[in-house]
């Protein structure tokens, strides 16, 4: 990322940034401080008073604590340089080290779109501590918090307790010691609970996420009703929802003595750092050939090698190691940082569901993503019997076999969950002591990790999932093998893999169908009035989006990231009917547009080509007819384009921009071979192949987008080359498409590794 600084004020700098993602901060599961974990809550947070007479704080003028005034203040704070300057002054006055001073190597930035973060101003070496924030600045919650215990109902979740504490400080206005921090919090977290409508949720076409969103909405409504006015500072439901979304997207946590989570914290400034974590690579460094994934098949989606993209970590420092005089949260570099480089922190190794629901973004190529196959093991075995067992066993014969498999599987699954939770708590509790050659903390023998987990968390832990690279919950594989009827272990394991692949194919087919609730709206709104048509415009846009599985979703994301590709596609399509200079100029323009792709557009283009390469023609039987026809149409367009002789007026004198000619070192394929190559497993080039003809077998993007996005039932190109009512995507549409695309990549990875062809799987559906 290239960042260009410009002065904002005496203490705060504003930076222009091309990164348009809105991201906030939560627990990074890879960084802990065990000394802090084993300390008592009272010794760490006994003194919460800020800004004593010897350390005054810069404050704004007092304001009334009415709801209307607070809402107006919050809206202004998001873009106000005054509030940011005040916030930075508040940090420095309260002992924050590493920012806002002459020798500081990092600075706070705010992008034109409102995104904030931290950026390197001077070279930083790996291992350097660049920032320390005293923990007395943190808003915290822990089981011993007397204030929350008195004000809130028994059993209130930590998120509700911390959100209500934040609301009480917001209601205090400038009288709160944390007013400078509260005023720079985002006015809205772009999470689905805040930004999605009913149609957006239905348009996800992924039942697990839809159920999670509805459940979270009900839980939020119940919590808002149960929390009294005293706990919320007298603020209403909208403010409560805001505070809960802030808490869910910005909270750090540490391990408690004996396991589990101890203290949860909102830590000013550090919670402004943006996320970058592990990322699965699709292409080789040269970008000309796809990497090979597991079991030798092409690495599509999330199957490539994993590279860590974060460059800083956080730790909790005790008073003896902190430069702030007490407990502090420290941020240190994990690799050298150059001036202009943004400080990126991993929010943790977790699936996209958590990022999607609570943060409102989806990380690029997250290798820790998964897809829910069944809600639990019992549902998985019921599905297996209906699909396979009923063909050879009566219900009376199947009941003892399936009951035994369920009993054994549940015991194995719970043991696995306990082991994972205990190992995670032990690792967090032992990390600091092991580094200092002290004895590890022993967990109480009677402690059961499952006892302290909320029911919703247990429900998620018991889901049967497929992970990237085709990995599946071990308990269901053993259960399926046990009821397969195969006497040999190898044959039983193969039967279990086939069953999982069939389930993945079922879900892929369901995600390729449009949602049942989506209905078209007449262009005039139904009553002939333009006003009604304008009121229904969002519904029209949703209805116009095509549904066709992974290839269509990737095409939509690419067209949204680089609309000029569709404009080039329109020009190429109209130029194809012309002759001479018109056709050659249109083809050259399309090739130049493809060669210049960067950022998200280049990534989605690589994914689209890679998926076409991996899925066609072997799995054409599992793809929607429209998507397969679209790729065939693109191949035919490529064949026609490559067969047309370029005109002398449009032929470049030297290599094309981007070095396309020298890069591929071969002429475009002939008319006869283009269509065949485009439908072969080796078509689509690798990630990065981009020219009108491309390498042998290369599939150009312009006709591919035109066929996938502008197929039957979709919008048509306007005179200017844009999509009427379809593009650009709305925020919820863009987020849903990316989320759904990654889920389909996970499912396809399991299908690709099962060893069955598309026709064989289709016969089992």
The whole-number pLDDT of residue 478 equals 94
The whole-number pLDDT of residue 417 equals 86
- C-alpha 108/C-alpha 727 separation (Å) is 33
Question: Mean pLDDT in the chain?
Answer: 74
Apex 64 CA angle, 233 and 188, nearest 5: 60
CA-derived radius of gyration, the chain: 28
Domain CATH for 275: 3.90.1410.10
In a domain, residue 273? The reply is yes
| Nearest residue to 481 via CA among 491, 471, 496 | 496
The whole-number pLDDT of residue 335 equals 97
- pTM of the full predicted structure? 0.78
Rounded-to-10 torsion of CA 763, 547, 626, 695: -100
Count the Cβ atoms, other than its own, within 10 Å of residue 379.
Answer: 13
Cis peptide before 617 (omega within 30 of 0): yes
pLDDT tens sequence across 162-201: 999 999 999 999 999 999 999 999 999 999 999 998 888 8
Mean pLDDT of 576-587: 58
Mean pLDDT of 235-262: 88
What is the DSSP track for 368-407?
T-EEEEESSHHHHHHHHHHHTGGGT--HHHHHHHHHHHHH
Mean pLDDT of 716-721: 41
The whole-number pLDDT of residue 80 equals 64
Residue 214 has pLDDT above 60, yes or no: yes
The whole-number pLDDT of residue 259 equals 61
The whole-number pLDDT of residue 705 equals 85
| Nearest residue to 542 via CA among 208, 202, 210, 191 | 202
106-110 vs 344-345, strand pairing mode: unpaired
The whole-number pLDDT of residue 120 equals 96
The pair phi, psi for residue 118, each rounded to 5°, is -115, 140
Residue 31 has pLDDT above 60, yes or no: no
Question: What does each C-alpha distance from 191 to 156, 195, 350, 354 come to in angstroms?
Answer: 22, 6, 17, 10
Higher pLDDT, 240 or 646: 240
49: confidence class by pLDDT, cuts 50, 70, 90: very low
424: confidence class by pLDDT, cuts 50, 70, 90: low
In a domain, residue 688? The reply is no
434, 440 contact by CB (below 8 A)? yes
573: confidence class by pLDDT, cuts 50, 70, 90: low
In a domain, residue 568? The reply is no
393: confidence class by pLDDT, cuts 50, 70, 90: very high
The whole-number pLDDT of residue 283 equals 52
Q: How many domains does the chain have?
A: 1
Residue 149 has pLDDT above 90, yes or no: yes
Residue-range definition of the domain harbouring residue 88:
70-283+299-365
Residue 94 has pLDDT above 60, yes or no: yes
Mean pLDDT of 121-150: 95
The whole-number pLDDT of residue 98 equals 95
Mean pLDDT of 325-335: 95
The whole-number pLDDT of residue 315 equals 95
Sign of CA dihedral 421, 425, 426, 427: positive
In a domain, residue 354? The reply is yes
Q: Which of 96-110, 113-127, 621-635 has the lowest mean pLDDT?
A: 621-635
The whole-number pLDDT of residue 314 equals 96
Q: Which of 447-456, 517-526, 612-621 has the lowest mean pLDDT?
A: 517-526
The whole-number pLDDT of residue 291 equals 40
516: confidence class by pLDDT, cuts 50, 70, 90: low
pLDDT tens sequence across 530-560: 444 444 444 444 445 677 899 999 999 999 9
What is the DSSP track for 26-61?
---TT---HHHHHS-HHHHHS----S-TTS----PP
636: confidence class by pLDDT, cuts 50, 70, 90: low
Mean pLDDT of 19-31: 26
The whole-number pLDDT of residue 590 equals 72
Partners of 464 in beta bridges: 374
């Amino acid at each position: 990322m290239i960042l260009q600084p410009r002065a904002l004020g005496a203490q705060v700098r504003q930076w222009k940034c091309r990164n348009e993602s809105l991201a906030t901060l939560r627990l990074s599961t890879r960084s802990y401080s065990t000394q802090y974990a084993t300390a008592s809550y009272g010794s760490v947070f006994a003194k919460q008073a800020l800004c004593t007479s010897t350390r005054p704080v810069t404050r704004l003028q007092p304001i009334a604590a009415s709801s209307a005034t607070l809402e107006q203040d919050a809206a202004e704070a998001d873009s106000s340089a005054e509030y940011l300057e005040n916030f930075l002054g508040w940090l420095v006055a309260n002992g924050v080290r590493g920012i806002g001073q002459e020798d500081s190597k990092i600075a706070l930035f705010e992008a034109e779109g409102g995104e904030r973060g931290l950026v390197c101003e001077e070279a930083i070496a790996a291992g350097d501590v660049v920032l320390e924030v005293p923990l007395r600045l943190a808003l915290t919650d822990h089981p011993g918090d007397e204030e929350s215990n008195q004000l809130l109902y028994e059993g209130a979740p930590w998120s509700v307790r911390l959100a209500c504490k934040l609301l009480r400080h917001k209601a205090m206005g400038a009288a709160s010691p944390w007013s400078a921090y509260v005023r720079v919090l985002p006015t809205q977290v772009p999470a689905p609970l805040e930004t999605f409508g009913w149609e957006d949720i239905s348009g996800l076409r992924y039942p697990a996420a839809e159920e999670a969103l509805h459940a979270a909405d009900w839980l939020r409504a119940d919590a808002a009703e149960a929390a009294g006015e005293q706990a919320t500072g007298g603020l209403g439901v909208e403010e409560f929802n805001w505070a809960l979304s802030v808490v869910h997207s910005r909270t750090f946590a540490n391990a408690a003595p004996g396991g589990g989570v101890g203290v949860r914290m909102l830590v000013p400034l550090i919670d402004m750092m943006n996320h970058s974590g592990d990322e699965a690579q699709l292409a080789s460094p040269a970008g000309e050939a796809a990497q090979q994934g597991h079991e030798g098949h092409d690495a599509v989606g999330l199957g490539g090698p994993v590279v860590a993209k974060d460059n800083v970590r956080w730790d909790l420092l005790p008073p003896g190691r902190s430069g702030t005089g007490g407990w502090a949260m420290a941020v240190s570099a994990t690799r050298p940082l150059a001036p202009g480089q943004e400080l990126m922190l991993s929010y943790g190794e977790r699936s996209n569901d958590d990022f999607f629901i609570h943060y409102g973004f989806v990380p690029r190529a997250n290798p820790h993503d998964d897809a829910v196959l069944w809600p639990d093991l019992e549902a998985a075995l019921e599905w297996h019997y209906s699909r396979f067992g009923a063909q050879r066993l009566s219900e009376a014969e199947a009941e003892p076999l399936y009951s035994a498999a369920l009993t054994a599987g549940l015991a194995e699954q719970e043991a696995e969950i306990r082991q994972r939770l205990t190992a995670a708590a032990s690792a967090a509790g032992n990390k600091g002591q092991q580094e200092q050659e002290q004895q590890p903390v022993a967990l109480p023998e009677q402690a059961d990790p499952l006892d302290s987990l909320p029911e919703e968390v247990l429900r998620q832990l018991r889901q049967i999932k497929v992970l990237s690279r085709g990995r599946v919950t071990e308990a269901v594989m053993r259960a399926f093998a046990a009821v397969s009827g195969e006497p040999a272990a190898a044959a039983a394991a193969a039967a279990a893999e086939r069953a999982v692949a069939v389930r993945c194919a079922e879900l892929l087919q369901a995600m390729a169908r449009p949602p049942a609730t989506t209905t078209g709206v007449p262009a005039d709104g139904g009553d002939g009035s333009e006003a009604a048509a304008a009121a229904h415009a969002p519904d029209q846009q949703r209805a116009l989006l095509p549904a066709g599985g992974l290839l269509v979703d990737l095409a939509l994301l690419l067209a949204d990231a680089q609309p000029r590709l569709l404009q080039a596609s329109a020009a190429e399509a109209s130029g194809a009917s012309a002759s001479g200079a018109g056709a050659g100029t249109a083809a050259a323009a399309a090739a130049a547009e493809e060669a210049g792709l960067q950022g998200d557009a280049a990534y989605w283009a690589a994914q689209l080509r890679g998926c076409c390469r991996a899925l066609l023609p072997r799995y054409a039987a599992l793809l929607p007819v429209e998507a397969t026809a679209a790729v065939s149409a693109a191949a035919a367009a490529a064949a026609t384009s490559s067969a047309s002789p370029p005109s002398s007026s449009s032929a470049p004198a030297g290599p094309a921009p981007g070095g396309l000619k020298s890069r591929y070192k071969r002429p475009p394929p002939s008319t006869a071979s283009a269509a065949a190559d485009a439908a072969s497993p080796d078509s689509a080039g690798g990630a990065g192949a981009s020219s009108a003809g491309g390498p042998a077998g290369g599939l150009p993007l312009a006709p591919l987008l035109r066929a996938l996005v502008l197929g039957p039932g979709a919008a048509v190109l306007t005179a200017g080359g844009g999509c009427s009512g379809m593009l650009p995507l709305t925020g919820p549409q863009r987020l849903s498409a990316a989320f759904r695309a990654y889920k389909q990549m996970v499912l396809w990875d399991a299908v690709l590794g099962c060893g069955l062809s598309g026709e064989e799987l289709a016969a089992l559906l």
